[in-house]
Amino acid sequence: MAAVEPLQRLAASLVVVRASGQLSDAQRRYPQWELANAELQRLLAAGVGGVILLGGSATELRLRCAQLGRWGGQPLLLCADVEEGVGQRFPGASWLVPPLGLGMLHSRDRQRALHLAERYGRCTGREARALGLNWVLAPVCDVNNNPANPVINVRAWAEQPAAAAELVAAFCRGLQAEGVLGCAKHFPGHGDTSSDSHLELPLLPHDRQRLEAIELPPFRAAIAAGVATVMTAHLLLPALDPQRPATLSAAVLTGLLRQELGFNGLVVTDALMMEAISANYGPGEAAVLALEAGADLVLMPADADAAIAALVAAVQGGRLSRERLEASAQRRRTALERLPIDPLEPLQPIEAIEPLEPDNALALELIEACGIRRSHGVLGGEMVGPGLGNGPGLNLVRLDDSLAAPFLPSDAPALALAERAGYRSLLLDRRSPSPWSDNPQAPLDLARLDLAGLNLAEPQLAKREALPVLLQLFVRGNPFRGSAGGGEPWAAVVEQLQRAKRLAGLVVYGSPYLWQELEPLLDVATPAVYCLGQMPLAQTWALQSLGLGLSDGPMDRRAGEFTD
């Protein structure tokens, strides 16, 4: 007869902690959330059942996963938020366009969109497994029917429930065919919220009939496609439970997800350190409430030791039964048993691992399929004006934070290609001096920008007073941002620059809603491009569409670089 697992180790197996993908404590990017190695090793030895990883290159991630496996001494769930391909988080792997692009394509070419969604899943699963991950926290099943949503936005697969349902199912089939676990999130639907659960508790005020029509179809489709896990949403649904957020609600997790939707897999909370939960519940109480509600795993409690101790105390005090914890532990084991290899099998020696080759052909195909070119004055198939000419000029780049923009390193094409053509780069972010004037009809302070541009220019340009502007806008909803990128007067800016005959070209990266606002305002001959992706490969495609960089040779679809 098998020995009964100690209660503390049983409780620990239901906790997933966060760690850096890099090996050294000094390399941690977010030390307030990412455990130091000594703490991580102690908790894994005590039986903690999973780790969520962020940071480091693809090669470093492979080393880190091998290290964690050695420290754990048991099958671990090793996961990452790689909704846009593994390269979104770990450079060296494939970074794909945000999923909403395939929803846009679905409305024009349904079969191609579904085919690409499955390839998207296969690419993500194949690379995750090659680097040591066995659990991908995707797909996002939220329907982005609210363009102002600050946190879901382009992460969703579609704005319509039927399209989202088809696409997430295709992604799940591709992903899990590669031998990793998928995760449908954020149940029962975070798409129609106006606030970010990383910062506060959102309210979803809809009745059950509306949930059935909009929020639930993608989750039903993912479950039908065999998705292994479901992640909860930190939001309040008064129609189902007026007291507790979905993550802590038995009505949502047991009544709706388990009993009505028939999901028998593994239920994981969204990160419990998010303000929607941590502002109202301590780490121990949140963990207990989550298991009482029907969750199996608690992700990123603010204090892992407190969460484990609270689960143990809840069993000892009769609030939770030991059988309840054992049922969750069995679901965890069942999920691991779905994997095609024995999780206890020693990982291959690092020197035996083939270097990962990112699938840039797929990445570029997705960029082209989801992008919109209005460049070289091409409108309706007719050439109506010139493309973007060479400078001198200003390359005005708007982004959230130049110090936290993995898509914009110092040699990023958005900077390098523009500068090679004579456009001097000025970055507008929250750390920059304000570029705004007090005139709502002419919101940019062009005199200030000209002065800054001239200070960067060659001495012989010092007398030039007005430079043409290449405007590149990196705008999308993101966690912790608090908005979907609205609130800035870019429509007025476009009109201002066009009145002054100074808008050389426009590129919008990310938000389709900003593009939809700006595109009708453009003069017929103004070269412009919309690209859903923000990564360097997308920048190269966008700027080559404007005519920049073409003299260096066409893009190599394998490497995404210039070739002769």
Tell me whether strands 423-428 and 77-80 are parallel, antiparallel or unpaired: unpaired
Q: Is the per-residue pLDDT at 246 higher than 60?
A: yes
Q: Give DSSP secondary structure letters for 111-167.
A: HHHHHHHHHHHHHHHHHHHHTT--EE---B------TT-SSSGGGSS-SSHHHHHHH
pLDDT at 412: 96
Mean pLDDT of 170-187: 97
Question: Which tokens go with 218?
Answer: 């993608």
* Stretch 429-452: mean pLDDT: 85
- Residue found by looking up tokens 């390269």 in the block: 87
Over residues 78-137, the pLDDT tens digits come to 999 999 999 999 999 999 999 999 999 999 999 999 999 999 999 999 999 999 999 999
CA nearest neighbour of 291 among 319, 263, 261, 330: 319
Span 374-378, mean pLDDT? Answer: 53
Counting residues of the chain whose pLDDT is more than 70, the rounded percentage is 87
Q: What is the model's pLDDT at position 328?
A: 98
Give me the residue spans of the domains in the chain.
14-341, 371-552
What is the mean pLDDT of the segment spanning 339-360? 66
Asked if residues 25 and 64 have their Cβ atoms less than 8 Å apart, the reply is no
Tokens of 413: 């094409």
DSSP for 269-337, written as a single string: PSPTTSHHHHTTS-HHHHHHHHHHHT-SBEES-S-HHHHHHHHHHHHHTTSS-HHHHHHHHHHHHHHHH
pLDDT given at position 245: 93
Least confident interval from 208-217, 310-319, 331-340, 483-492: 483-492
- Count other C-beta atoms under 10 Å from residue 38's C-beta: 9
Q: How far apart are CA 33 and CA 19, in angstroms?
A: 8
The position carrying tokens 């490969």 is 537
Q: Which residues neighbour 305 within 8 Å (Cβ) at sequence distance 6 or greater?
A: 43
- What pLDDT, on the 0 to 100 scale, is given for residue 562? 32
Tally of CB atoms within 10 A around 467: 24
Distance CA 507, CA 374 (A): 10
429 or 276, which is more confident: 429
**Residue that is written with structure tokens 């750390």 in the block:** 431
Instruction: Return all residues near 62 (Cβ < 8 A) that are at least 6 apart.
Output: 130, 131, 132, 350, 353
| Span 192-212, average pLDDT | 76
Helix (H) or strand (E) holding 424: strand 423-428
pLDDT at 160: 95
**Residue ranges in 201-282 assigned as alpha helix (H):** 208-210, 217-224, 250, 275-278
478 to 156, 168, 314, 511: CA distances (angstroms): 12, 20, 36, 11
Q: Which of 553, 118, 135 is nearest to 335 (CA)?
A: 135
Catalytic residue among 196, 270, 296, 359: 270
pLDDT of residue 480: 45
Round to whole Å and give the CA distance between 171 and 116: 9
Q: Is 9's pLDDT higher than 50? A: yes
pLDDT tens digits along 46-59: 999 999 999 999 99
Order across the sheet with 266-268: list the strands: 183-187, 229-232, 266-268
Confidence of residue 4 (pLDDT cuts 50, 70, 90): low
pLDDT in tens, 24-47: 988 888 888 899 999 999 999 999
Is residue 445 among the annotated active site residues? no
pLDDT reported for residue 465: 60
Look at residue 256 and tell me whether its pLDDT is greater than 80: yes
Exactly one of 186, 190, 198, 206 is catalytic; name it. Answer: 198
| Closest to 156 in 3D by CA, of 172, 166, 168, 169 | 168
Query: What is the pLDDT averaged over residues 433-462?
Result: 75
Count, residues in the chain: 564
Distance CA 191, CA 147 (A): 9
374, pLDDT greater than 90: no
Q: Is the pLDDT of residue 196 over 60?
A: no
**Mean pLDDT over residues 531-546, rounded?**
94
Who contacts 35 (Cβ-Cβ below 8 Å, separation ≥6)? Answer: 17, 18, 19, 43, 304
**Calpha distance 82→124 (Å, rounded):** 8
Tokens 């700006």 sit on residue: 518
Q: Amino acid identity, residue 332?
A: R
pLDDT at 380: 40
Inter-CA distances, 317 with 306, 320, 321, Å:
16, 8, 9
Q: Is the pLDDT of residue 214 over 50?
A: yes
- Among the ranges given (139-143, 195-199, 234-238, 270-274), the one the predictor scored with the smallest mean pLDDT: 195-199
Residues contacting residue 230 through CB under 8 Å, at least 6 positions apart: 183, 184, 185, 187, 219, 222, 223, 257, 263, 265, 266, 267, 268
Using CA atoms, how far apart are residues 297 and 311, in angstroms rounded to an integer? 12
Q: Which residues fall within 8 angstroms of residue 243, CB to CB, at 6 or more apart?
A: 249
What's the rounded mean pLDDT across residues 467-486? 73
381 has pLDDT over 50: no
Residues whose CB falls within 8 Å of the CB of residue 451, separated by 6 or more in sequence, listed in order: none
The stretch 369-384 carries a mean pLDDT of 58
Report residue 1's pLDDT band, with 50, 70 and 90 as the boundaries: very low
Class level of CATH domain 371-552: alpha beta
SS3 assignment, position 236: strand
pLDDT in tens, 487-534: 789 999 999 999 999 999 999 999 999 999 999 999 988 999 999 999
Query: What would the pLDDT profile of 264-281 be if each residue is shown by its tens digit?
Result: 999 999 999 988 788 899
Q: For the domain 14-341, what is the CATH superfamily, name and number?
A: Glycoside hydrolase, family 3, N-terminal domain (3.20.20.300)
- Does 270 participate in catalysis according to the annotation? yes
Residue 81 and residue 106 in contact, taking contact as beta carbons nearer than 8 Å: no
Label residue 387 by pLDDT band (50, 70, 90).
low
Name the residue with tokens 């969520």: 52
Long-range (24+ apart) CB contacts under 8 A made by 316-320 are 316/7, 319/288, 319/292, 320/288, 320/291, 320/292
The answer to whether 78 and 68 have CB atoms below 8 angstroms apart is yes
Across 374-388, 435-449, 481-495, the highest mean pLDDT is recorded for 435-449
What pLDDT digit, counting tens, does each position of 391-406 carry? Answer: 789 999 999 888 888 8
Residue 373: pLDDT band with limits 50, 70, 90:
confident
Give the residue with greater pLDDT, 486 vs 440. 440
Average pLDDT, the chain: 87
What pLDDT, on the 0 to 100 scale, is given for residue 564?
Answer: 30
Strands 382-383 and 378-379: antiparallel
Answer for the pair 484, 511: CB distance below 8 angstroms, yes or no: yes
Confidence check: pLDDT of 563 > 50: no
Decide if pLDDT at 468 tops 80.
Answer: yes
Confidence of residue 221 (pLDDT cuts 50, 70, 90): very high
pLDDT reported for residue 486: 58
195: pLDDT confidence band, cut at 50, 70 and 90? low
